[in-house]
Amino acid sequence: MDRIRIRGGAPLNGMIPISGAKNAALPLMVASLLTAETLVLENVPRLADVAALKRILSNHGVDIAIQGKRPGETTLTGQTLKLTAGTIIDTTAPYELVSTMRASFWVLAPLIARMGEARVSLPGGCAIGTRPVDLHLMALSHLGAAIEIDAGYVVASAPSGLRGGEIRFPKVSVGATHTALLAAVLADGETVIENAAREPEVVDLADCLTKMGARIEGAGTSTITIKGVPALHGATHTVIPDRIETGTYALAVAMAGGDVLLDGARADLLDSALDVMRAAGATVENTNRGIRVARNGHGLAPVEVTTEPFPGFPTDLQAQLMAITTRAGGVSRITETIFENRFMHVQELARLGADIRLDGQNAFITGVSKLKGAPVMATDLRASVSLVIAGLVAEGETVVNRIYHLDRGFEQLEMKLAACGAEIERISG
């Protein structure tokens, strides 16, 4: 099993290209099930989750072609996928495929919308909380789908097609908002989604569906209105840059020091996180190429942060922020409000010398003068990269085990950091 080895102490200087957003690319790929014509997606990241979803879509009959290399394209730039669901040959998404990744559950909505039936395994994936699918099923039932659970599968049917309706979510859910959008675009009549997620990835999906002929208003606000159409057509769409990858590398620079241009990043996708980094002592500048982040060696300041749905501080950057606060001059407080089990990285950071006390959904981090390298183990995708960030400044050698989590969400992370001066390498086997 691969590991990552880091020798701490080197600042980061140079340029890091920002990949397409995984959390946008996956629902966009699923949207290909809604039309018999070809959907072309540009700037798709090369990630394990993307590869897994390609296998799931292929099982339904989607033909997927990867466009050949173009001038200036490298393994650090996005790929172009052409997805054609001319004929859906299977409306069952089996356990052995869906269990590897939660996002694959999204195939449920377009299969019902286009085919009138679907049988999809309950999902597996991250170990950061229960993350139930009840809001997804509620949305589909409000659009007229009959749903039952049978032997670990969601069996849904709408033989006469879905009908527009009102969906009012009791809490904000990005995944359930994706499901509602993917179902409503082909439903008969008007659908109104209340308390919808406002995340940029939701807006990106709505933009792509609109290019395919959907009629959507209000994406990016808490109320989205969809007027169903009989059919969608093909389109070409470019995936937005990954705001979580952007924030992760920005925090890495804040931790290690140096000066890095995050090429292709968009500040408007993570304003709240950038404000926190400024408060911690980093210099953050928006440029016409992306975002420039620098820290000149002065100490980090403590911060108080609560994770919130967009436009608040994202839960997917909580672990990375915690890593940098381990070296801040004072006590920081991080409150996690999204996922109940998202402090699993605390024990591993403590192995490097971090001083962290947990109290319910609050973590109190007292900055220490130094971290010391040690073997650590990744527990989930974001936790694993927090250990890499800590390792960038830890004295001696840090080895991060179980990095298959990293490969699900970060494209060639060790290569991007090494290109900016980090002493980091992947150890195979």
**Cα Dmax for the chain:** 66
The pLDDT of residue 344 = 87
Average pLDDT over residues 247-251: 98
Helix (H) or strand (E) holding 319: helix 318-325
3-18+241-427 and 22-235 agree in CATH topology: yes
155-174 pLDDT, tens digit per residue, is 999 999 999 999 999 999 99
Catalytically annotated residue among 126, 140, 187, 352: 126
Any idea what DSSP says for residue 35?
-
Annotation marks residue 126 as catalytic: yes
- What is the DSSP pairing of strand 290-295 with strand 283-286? antiparallel
268 is in an annotated binding site: no
131 is in an annotated binding site: yes
| In 143-199, alpha helices (H) | 174-184
The pLDDT of residue 67 = 83
Residues 6 or more apart whose Cβ sits within 8 Å of residue 45: 19, 20, 21, 22, 25, 78, 79, 239, 242, 411
302 is in an annotated binding site: no
The tokens describing 363, both together, are: 């973590």
The tokens describing 187, both together, are: 């439903």
- Span 3-18+241-427 CATH architecture: Alpha-beta prism (3.65)
The pLDDT of residue 242 = 97
426 is in an annotated binding site: no
Say what the pTM is: 0.94
Average pLDDT over residues 139-157: 95
Asked if CATH classification 3.40.630.30 holds for the domain at 22-235, the reply, yes or no, is no
Indicate the domain borders of the chain: 3-18+241-427, 22-235
The pLDDT of residue 72 = 64
Which residue type is seen at 361? Q
371 is in an annotated binding site: no
- Taking the C-alpha atoms of residue 305 and residue 280, their distance in angstroms, rounded to an integer, is 11
